Structure 1
Amino acid sequence: MKIGIVNIPGMDVSLVQILREHFHNSAEIVDLGNTEQWKYDLVMVPPSTLYSDSEELKRRIEQSSLYTSLSEYSDQGGFIVGIQSGFQILCAAGLLEGGFVRTSRTSLVNAMVDVKSEFKRSPLTYLVDFDKPLRLYLSHALGYYRLSDESVRRLQQKGQILLRYCDERGYVSKESNPDGSTSSIAAICNAQRNVFGITPNPAVKSFFQHHLDGLELMDSFFKMITR
């Protein structure tokens, strides 16, 4: 499996190592200005520690060919996953609904979180235990993911809400929602089920060594898109 990782300044380059060592995938970093001819099984838009606070970086991304390339790749049926700020980039590109909103109270969220699968028939969640919450790592200062009530109902009906924040028993509540996301949403996909956004990071190297559930989630994803 060949994976292209978009080179967003501030990204965690250990993601490449994880993909190669844990999943034996061919992974390479793609520069922002070199996205015209993608020949990958999957494109990943990684999290960036600089994205939240850098308007210059956001402008650079907007002025690059990235949005157009992502859209064209998606239209051709290519699989895309955006993690944390990568999720926001996919929203800004118009490939996923909603977006993250910062307020005067926005601060860094840094915590272990539990999420539950809301819809099984997607590559991201197909092999995940529906009744058992997953434990993942959340770290971002994007604000909260906002979606209108009408959009929440529509995405719910179409099975596009894939993960929700919950407590360790699987109950969804305001208290189990660490970043104030609308309807406790932690991951969604587009209607065609080939573009995915997830706020918790399932691919943090140090936590892979502690056998957190990001391994299970990514294993499901890779197996389903290559079968």
Structure 2
Amino acid sequence: MAVRFGILVFPGSNCDHDAYHAVKHVAGQEARFIWHKETKLGDVDVVIVPGGFSYGDYLRPGAIARFSPIMQDVIRFAREGGPVIGICNGFQVLCESGLLPGVLLRNASLRFICKYVHVRVEQTDTPFTNALQPGQVLRIPIAHGEGNYFAPKEVLERLEANGQVVFRYCEPDGRITEAANPNGSAHNIAGIVNEQRNVLGMMPHPERCVEALLGSEDGLGIFRSLIRHVAGVSV
């Protein structure tokens, strides 16, 4: 069976079509856009909250999108166990919505960063990483000005103890170093899941690296994991 992906669209989203292409044309699944003013997700298996600059990032990234009509149903869907992935600005929206802990601050350099980085897969017992290997290093692009993940000490300790840190910035050989951290994120965090493990927020863009022609196919493993989780098949 084809997995049905719903891709949110806010004013200012700019990675929604990238996500659509990744799941529809590369992974061969069903996909449709869901406008921010809608109030129901409809019949979807996975929700993607894409990257971009929702509402122009006014106030702070994700702060206005969090109040979009569609977000109430996203929260319901997530709390009922539905898989939700927030990418870049989508990660920020999920934090603002309370679906994930912590906040994304300005990059430590105070500059917008757009480049390929390496991230290490820390957990494979999630709907988003079951097709990956523990310790696998992915080459994947980032493009953000506010990707510096921060949370209070006790929250960070809980994330680590629960195995909620799913991706961590690393060197190409997998070593975790300060130099490999592009934005100053605490504990080199590039992506986390909630305690129930069905909501993922990540700053790197897997939807932008699903074809060798574009320099990397490493992001495809995340979408393959979701397909395996929902449909029980490998692609």
TM-score by length of 2: 0.87
1:216 match:
221
Q: Contact between 1:33 and 1:64, CA under 8 Å: does it hold in 2?
A: yes
Q: Contact between 1:208 and 1:214, CA under 8 Å: does it hold in 2?
A: no
2:43 and 2:58 mapped to 1: Cα distance? 30
* Distance apart, 1:63 and its partner CA: 3.6
* Distance apart, 1:183 and its partner CA: 0.5
Residue 192 in structure 1 maps to residue 204 in structure 2: no
Q: 1:179 to 1:160 in 2, by over 3 A?
A: same
Map Cα deviations across residues 123-157 of structure 1 (whole Å, 9 max, x no partner).
Answer: 22222122331111111111411122211111111
* Distance apart, 1:56 and its partner CA: 9.3
Q: Which runs of 5+ in 1 are unaligned?
A: none
Map Cα deviations across residues 173-204 of structure 1 (whole Å, 9 max, x no partner).
Answer: 11110111111001111111111101100011
2:49 and 2:219 mapped to 1: Cα distance? 17
1:11 match:
14
Tell me how large the CA RMSD over aligned residues is.
Answer: 2.3
Q: 1:125 to 1:104 in 2, by over 3 A?
A: closer
Kindly provide the amino acid, as one letter, of the partner of residue 218 in structure 1.
F
* Distance apart, 1:211 and its partner CA: 3.4
Identical aligned residues as a percent: 28
Q: Contact between 1:52 and 1:142, CA under 8 Å: does it hold in 2?
A: no
Q: Secondary structure of the equivalent of 2:44?
A: coil
Q: Which runs of 5+ in 2 are unaligned?
A: none
2:76 match:
72
Q: For 1:11-160, what aligned pairs fall within 5 Å after superposition?
A: 11-12=14-15, 13-49=17-53, 53-55=57-59, 60-102=64-106, 105-160=109-164
* Distance apart, 1:158 and its partner CA: 1.1
TM-score by length of 1: 0.90
1:208 and 1:51 mapped to 2: Cα distance? 32
Q: 1:60 to 1:169 in 2, by over 3 A?
A: closer
Map Cα deviations across residues 23-61 of structure 1 (whole Å, 9 max, x no partner).
Answer: 111111101111325321001000014666434985652
1:2 and 1:113 mapped to 2: Cα distance? 29
Q: Contact between 1:110 and 1:140, CA under 8 Å: does it hold in 2?
A: yes
Map Cα deviations across residues 149-176 of structure 1 (whole Å, 9 max, x no partner).
Answer: 2111111111111110000111101111
